């Protein structure tokens, strides 16, 4: 499912709202989530999961073209931990229909 398919799916259940509004809403939610992570805040959605930042310490990397060694700074990467309901629904569906 892509972002535009997600918008269509939501629009089917929200037929009192024009699809354009659903599109803006989905973009607004994603922007809010990105903005939150970019400022170091976690996201916690019960039944879905949580997003947080994980730190990657500085390391020596290599330029794959030249083989030259380069120092890479420490950085943060986004991390997602699925919540209980999401984990169970995905795995139950798999167990019933592998």
Partner 1 sequence: MALTKAEMAERLFDDLGLNKREAKEMVELFFEKIRAALEDGSQVKLSGFGNFDLREKKERPGRNPKTGQEIPISARRVVTFRPGQKLKARVEGYAGSE
Binding site for partner 1 (CB under 8 A): 1-3, 6, 9-10, 13-14, 17, 21-22, 24-26, 28-30, 32-34, 36-51, 53, 55, 75-80, 82, 85-87, 89-91, 93-95
CB of 67 to partner 1, least distance (A): 24
CB nearer partner 1, residue 67 or residue 97? 97
Nearer to partner 1, 2 or 67 (CB): 2
Judge whether 79 and 54 are in contact, CB under 8 Å. Answer: yes
CB 62 within 8 A of CB 68: yes
Ordered DSSP codes for 24-72: HHHHHHHHHHHHHHHTT--EEETTTEEEEEEEE--EEEE-TTT--EEEE
Nearest-approach distance from CB 17 to partner 1, in angstroms: 7
């Amino acid at each position: 499912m892509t972002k535009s398919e997600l918008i269509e799916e939501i629009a089917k259940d929200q037929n009192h709202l024009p699809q354009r509004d659903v599109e803006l809403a989905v973009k607004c939610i994603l922007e809010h989530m990105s903005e939150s992570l970019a400022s170091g805040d976690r996201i916690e959605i019960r039944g879905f999961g949580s997003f947080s930042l994980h730190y990657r310490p500085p390391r020596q990397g290599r330029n794959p073209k030249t083989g030259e060694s380069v120092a890479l700074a420490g950085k943060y990467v986004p991390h997602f931990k699925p919540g209980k309901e999401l984990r169970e629904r995905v795995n139950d569906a798999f167990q019933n229909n592998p």
